[in-house]
Structure 1
Amino acid sequence: MRALELGSPGALRDELNGLVLAGAKTATATLLVEYGEEGELLEFPGERFALLGNQGDVLATVEIATVATVPFGEVTWEFAQAEGEGYTDIEHWRRAHIRFWQQVEGRHITDDTAVVCVHFTLCR
């Protein structure tokens, strides 16, 4: 079983994992380029992942529901809401993700940047 590590280690990962465990977060977005850099394959529907905490501990299992690669500028409001992080509109989602990907990861983001949008369910 592959591992799912949300956000960056520390408080952000704790927050995102808490949202998954509470059932509020049912989606996550990753830049497509990161898959190639890390030698990872895209997720596929039905695949299960171990949701990992900051210490590498397994917190839960999630099952992939859907996977779609879309340009950053075409990510939908419905997807942004499924991320469960309290975005008020799609522009709020875009600003937050640009900030994270540019400031934390040093990426240049345009409307054409490929984003992998994954929906998942928490296995109980």
Structure 2
Amino acid sequence: MGPVTTEASRSQPALTSRSALQSLRGRIPVGEYAFPGPVRDGLVAAILNGEKTATTSLLVEYQRDGQDPHDLLGSYELVVDSDEQPVCVTRTTEVRVVALSEVDLQHCIDEGEGYRTIAEWERAHRLFWESEELRAELNDPTWRLTDRTPVVMQRFELVDPHEVRL
């Protein structure tokens, strides 16, 4: 298959050949946005077209895996689509851990999902973070989200897979 080309690839160096992306499999962590399906596909499209430059996750997900989210700074991710196929590489440029109630509007906007207010962003994220699917993923059917729940605010940029230095 030929190069992955989108409008963003003309201005962003991140989208090149599938073989370059495939060569990074197993060498850098995989970035999975939401669960496979329409939500993930929309998030990946927003990354590819440059609208999505930030994401938010729950600190408890990192704690479950014995990770410190601050270790992400400068790291690469191989972003995959719903078919688990690599589509681009991102590099983390900023990591902040804050309470859910402290997420700022600019971060919400930079998530590239069309949020115009913090309330819109929070409603959408609550739907996902309070879902049975996420509770199952956390292996905790009683898990509850509160305004004080720590979240990981992450900013990233697209990078050319040929420029990944391990």
Deviation at 1:39, TM superposition (A): 3.9
Question: Structure 1 residue aligned with 2:126, among 84, 98, 105?
Answer: 98
The corresponding residue for 1:119 is: 155
- Within the alignment, does 1:28 sit opposite 2:55 as a pair? yes
Number of residue pairs aligned between Structure 1 and Structure 2: 124
Deviation at 1:36, TM superposition (A): 2.0
Match for residue 87 of structure 1? 115
Does residue 102 of structure 2 align to residue 74 of structure 1? yes
Deviation at 1:15, TM superposition (A): 0.6
> CA 1:4/1:41 → structure 2, altered by over 3 Å: closer, same or farther?
farther
Give me the whole-angstrom Cα distance separating, in 1, the residues matched to 2:144 and 2:53. Answer: 26
Once the two structures are TM-superposed, the CA of residue 9 in structure 1 deviates from its matched residue by: 1.1
Partner of 1:109: 145
Task: Could you tell me which runs of 5 or more consecutive residues in structure 2 were left unpaired when the two chains were aligned.
Answer: 1-27, 136-142, 161-166
Instruction: Provide the residue aligned with 1:3 in structure 2.
Output: 30
Bigger radius of gyration:
2
Select the residue among 52, 67, 73 that pairs with 2:80.
Answer: 52
* Aligned equivalent of 1:63: 91
Q: Which of 1 and 2 has higher RCO (CA within 8 Å, sep 6+)?
A: 1
Select the structure that is richer in strand.
Answer: 1
Instruction: State the AA in 2 paired with 1:25.
Output: K
Distance 2:60 2:72 in 1: 17
2:42 aligned partner: 15
Alpha-carbon distance between aligned partners in 2 of 1:87 and 1:4, rounded to the nearest angstrom: 22
TM-score (norm 1): 0.93
Superposition TM-score, scaled by structure 2 size: 0.70
- Helix, strand or coil at the partner of 1:67: strand
Aligned-pair Cα RMSD in Å: 1.4
Unaligned stretches of 5+ residues in structure 1: none
1:41-65 deviations in Å (ceiling 9; x for gaps): 4242221110111222110000101
Aligned-residue identity in percent: 34
Equivalent in the alignment of 2:4: none
Rounded Cα–Cα distance in structure 1 between residues aligned with 2:53 and 2:129: 20
